[in-house]
Amino acid sequence: ATVQECMQLVTDRRVRHLPVVEAGRVAGMISIGDLVKAVIAEQQQQIEQLESYIHR
C-alpha cells in the first residue's frame, strides 16, 4: 500500500499502528509517526524539485 493509503486507513479506522504483512505473516508494524515522517520527506523532495526548477 502507498503512504497515502496507509494514512487513509489510520484515519478511517482511528488506529495508530498498522501491521506489515509479508507472505501471510506479520513482519512488523508501521506507526502514524512513521507515516508522518514519510509524508514530510515526500513533501520536502517536491519542494526541492520545485525550487530547483524555479532557480534555473
Q: Which CATH number fits domain 3-54: 3.40.50.720, 1.10.287.130, 3.10.580.10, 3.40.50.10860?
A: 3.10.580.10
The C-alpha cell that represents 49 in the structure block: 524539485
Helical H segments across 3-31, by residue range = 3-13
Which three cell numbers mark 19? 501491521
pLDDT along the chain (56 residues), means of 10: 96 97 97 97 96 91
What is the predicted pLDDT for the residue at 56?
84
Q: At 17, is the secondary structure helix, strand, or coil?
A: strand
CA distance 55 to 41: 21
Cβ–Cβ < 8 Å for 3, 35: yes
| Whether the model pTM is above 0.85 | no
Instruction: List the chain domain ranges.
Output: 3-54
* Contacts of residue 3, Cβ cutoff 8 Å, sequence gap at least 6: 35, 38, 39, 42
